[in-house]
Chain A
Amino acid sequence: MQARGLVKKYGDREALRGVDLAAEAGELVAIIGPNGAGKTTLLSILAGIVKPDGGELGVGDGAVGWVPQQAALYRRLTVEENLLLFARLEGHADPRAATEEMLELCRLGERRGEIVARLSGGNQQRINIAIGLLSRPTVLLLDEPSVGLDPRQRARLWEFVSGLAARGTAVVFSTHDIQEAERYGRRLLVLADGESLFDGPAEELREAVRSEAPESADRDFETAFVAYLQHRGH
């Protein structure tokens, strides 16, 4: 996936100002930044939900899977009914086989008959991701996938996502959690007020933080990152 110079305006407000992003097969790219930085807008443009006002976007041959921040599934249907519905809508030749595959992938086979509303937030998020994978995407976009999950659920989620990347899926995810981005993102894109401040590996971001905010270099990475943003005027 290649995006160059993406621009998006809502009225007078510029949500994105010429942002570039690239994701290779099997790569995990984290988009980080404070609230209102443009993370969701960027992912929505990459997903094709929102049209950009400027810039170029190339997706390649494969499909793009999109997993919104809030679980986009029907809470009054069962796990299996949700997967089967979206498998049918995706036009799978054998929607039941695709459903079984996803049930196995998200390890919810035993709970297939349960109403989604009765599942934990973590399990709902796994189904949410599984629905995003039904199109067998080469690129998977995750919008703050770990929000609201407890540490154990988060660990399971990232184990699941890392497994996808290991099988060759390019994963682009947004997060507030700098430590999560550092831990799971092979590359980090820092956004603030619609502007791209950094794009590179976590080690390079640490180096950039140390050089631009040396007074915070000895503190934890999150505190140093906030100081870095302040130094950059955000």
Chain B
Amino acid sequence: MRWLLLKDLQILRRSPLQAVLLVVYPVLIAVLVGFAISRGPEKPRVAFLNEVPADTRISVGGQQLPAAGVNERICSRVECVQVEDRDEATAKVESGEVLAAVILPADLVDQINSLSTLTPGTPKVEVLVNQEDPVKAQLVDERISTLLAQANLAIARRIATEGGNYLDLLIDGGKFTVAGQTFPILGLRASAQILEALEPALPAGPLRDSLRQVGSFAAQARDNLDIAGPLIERLAQPIEIEKEVVNGSSPPLEIFAIAVAATLTLAFVTVLLVAGSLALEREENAFPRLTRGLISPVALLAEKVLLGMAVGLAVTLLLLAGMQLFVPLEWGRIGLWLLAILAGGGALAAAGAALGAAAREVRAVSLLAFMVTLPIAFLSLIPSGAVGSGVFDLVEIVTAVFPFKPALQAMAAALDSAGPGIGGPLAHLAILIAAYGLIARLALRRFAAV
């Protein structure tokens, strides 16, 4: 078997393009993924036109609120491209220079202020989008909706805070400034105390009874309005999110990205190499000669799987070493990495052997390997909830019968010290190695057909 292994490595060495691809591919993937996870997502570019006069403020009860900082809030989450007028905004959206344009019209604050009058208006923010690309349009809709929800929340919080302050003034008293003049406000608490103090000074009779009733009302109002303050503040954000993880402890995003990159590399290198190498035995007409007593079909399959595991291991370790430039990895866990790579590589190599045994030519088998591996890899990355439950069940079944997903789970578990155990994925991979080994052995019978 070792001589065949040596022969395959010699052939690999004689194919400079393949050998270079085997080295360049993982390095390229490592660099791309490294840049992607170390730089974080780019902010979308949005044209921003604020036509609201600078000195205009939202007012409550005749009082102007401090600026809510809507501009700053929006521009902290997107890359704002300031424009002079709506024509410029429209042109930038049409040309694709920006994803969308947000226009705050001049009467926006007036419309907001009208909400507390008898003739309320409808405050509107204009959003210009380019719908030529449905995917892009959906992305823009979601981004802008989120931004405006956050702006609404900021304004609501500001109003709630001011409302709470007025309530405090009503209960505890203080100073109230309007139109440049300051007025003292007694407050319900002090009013109740004064009335309580006055009551004994009055003679018994209807006047004293009435004073007692007024004092009692002031005390009740004070006590009950005390709880109104928190209620008003809660109105701004009535529902809070309390997140609790009940299933699956997902690894940090950068570790997951590295696991995906490593598994993709392992899958393509291993499946393509094993499938192609096995098909080559047939294309070169060597299979019947080899299996005429020189080597058994099972030993030949084992040699191909070993070849895939060895090359896959080398290339994946090279990729992980490249990733180290961007994200620090726990090299103390290298034992688990090796386990995950070898088990994943073994299962992927067995699947490659089954594919290689099913086709006659190297080119055909290479195409077949791509056609199988690529969609399965994409399907394996679909999270639950992203598609309907029926479709997801189907995706789960499909991805469970191909080694990519368990290999990815094993890799993620090996890379993430806080992640789930590696035992489950390893057991899954062991089953797949046996199953694909059997399929490959049965498929090899076609090789012998004259």
Mark A residues whose CB is within 8 Å of B.
Answer: 40-41, 44, 47-50, 66, 68, 70-77, 81, 85-86, 88-90, 115, 131
Q: Tell me whether B285 and A70 are in contact (CB under 8 A).
A: yes
A131 to B292, CA, bound (A): 13
Q: Tell me whether B14 and A73 are in contact (CB under 8 A).
A: no
Residues on the B chain within 8 Å of A86, using CB: 289, 294
Instruction: Flag whether B367 is at the interface (Cβ < 8 A).
Output: no
Instruction: Flag whether B125 is at the interface (Cβ < 8 A).
Output: no
* Nearest CB in chain A: distance from B289 CB, A: 4
Instruction: Flag whether B10 is at the interface (Cβ < 8 A).
Output: yes
Residues on the A chain within 8 Å of B7, using CB: 74, 77, 81, 85
Q: Tell me whether B11 and A66 are in contact (CB under 8 A).
A: no
Most buried by A among B10, B284, B295, B450: B450
Which of B10, B15, B286, B450 touches A50 (beta carbons < 8 Å)? B450
Q: Tell me whether B3 and A89 are in contact (CB under 8 A).
A: yes
A77 to B289, CA, bound (A): 16
A50 to B14, CA, bound (A): 33
Residues on the B chain within 8 Å of A72, using CB: 284-286, 288-289
Residues on the A chain within 8 Å of B291, using CB: 49
8 Å CB interface, B16-74 against A:
none
Residues on the A chain within 8 Å of B4, using CB: 85, 89
Q: Tell me whether A88 and B3 are in contact (CB under 8 A).
A: yes
Q: Tell me whether A77 and B295 are in contact (CB under 8 A).
A: no
Which of A49, A71, A75, A77 touches B292 (beta carbons < 8 Å)? A49
Q: Which 10 A-B pairs have the closest CB atoms?
A: A72-B285, A89-B294, A72-B289, A76-B14, A88-B3, A70-B285, A76-B11, A44-B450, A72-B286, A49-B288
Residues on the B chain within 8 Å of A131, using CB: 289
* Nearest CB in chain B: distance from A9 CB, A: 13
Q: Tell me whether B284 and A75 are in contact (CB under 8 A).
A: yes
A180 to B284, CA, bound (A): 27
Instruction: Flag whether B290 is at the interface (Cβ < 8 A).
Output: yes
A154 to B178, CA, bound (A): 115
Residues on the A chain within 8 Å of B15, using CB: 76
Which of B11, B14, B290 touches A89 (beta carbons < 8 Å)? B290
A49 to B295, CA, bound (A): 13
A86 to B292, CA, bound (A): 12
Determine the residue in chain A with the shortest Cβ distance to B280: A74
Residues on the B chain within 8 Å of A115, using CB: 14
Residues on the B chain within 8 Å of A77, using CB: 7, 10-11, 14
Instruction: Flag whether B448 is at the interface (Cβ < 8 A).
Output: yes
Mark B residues whose CB is within 8 Å of A.
Answer: 3-4, 7, 10-11, 14-15, 284-286, 288-295, 448, 450
Residues on the B chain within 8 Å of A68, using CB: 285, 288-289
* Nearest CB in chain B: distance from A52 CB, A: 13
* Nearest CB in chain B: distance from A7 CB, A: 16
Could you jot down 20 A-B contacts, CB within 8 Å? A48-B292, A49-B291, A49-B292, A50-B448, A66-B288, A68-B285, A68-B288, A68-B289, A72-B284, A72-B285, A72-B288, A72-B289, A73-B284, A74-B11, A74-B284, A76-B14, A85-B7, A86-B289, A90-B294, A115-B14
Can you add 7 more A-B contacts, CB < 8 Å, to A68-B289, A76-B15, A131-B289?
A41-B450, A74-B11, A76-B10, A77-B11, A81-B10, A86-B294, A89-B3
* Nearest CB in chain B: distance from A48 CB, A: 6
Most buried by A among B3, B284, B289, B295: B289
Determine the residue in chain A with the shortest Cβ distance to B290: A89
Residues on the A chain within 8 Å of B293, using CB: 48
A77 to B295, CA, bound (A): 19
Residues on the B chain within 8 Å of A89, using CB: 3-4, 290, 294-295
Given known pairs A40-B450, A89-B3, the reply for A73 and B286 (CB within 8 Å) is yes
A131 to B4, CA, bound (A): 15
* Nearest CB in chain B: distance from A185 CB, A: 22
Residues on the A chain within 8 Å of B450, using CB: 40-41, 44, 49-50
A66 to B288, CA, bound (A): 10
* Nearest CB in chain A: distance from B276 CB, A: 12
Determine the residue in chain A with the shortest Cβ distance to B289: A72
Residues on the B chain within 8 Å of A90, using CB: 294
A40 to B291, CA, bound (A): 17
A47 to B289, CA, bound (A): 10
A75 to B280, CA, bound (A): 10
Residues on the B chain within 8 Å of A40, using CB: 450
A75 to B291, CA, bound (A): 19
A131 to B295, CA, bound (A): 15
Q: Tell me whether A47 and B10 are in contact (CB under 8 A).
A: no
Residues on the B chain within 8 Å of A74, using CB: 7, 11, 284, 286
A77 to B286, CA, bound (A): 13
Determine the residue in chain A with the shortest Cβ distance to B2: A88
A50 to B15, CA, bound (A): 34
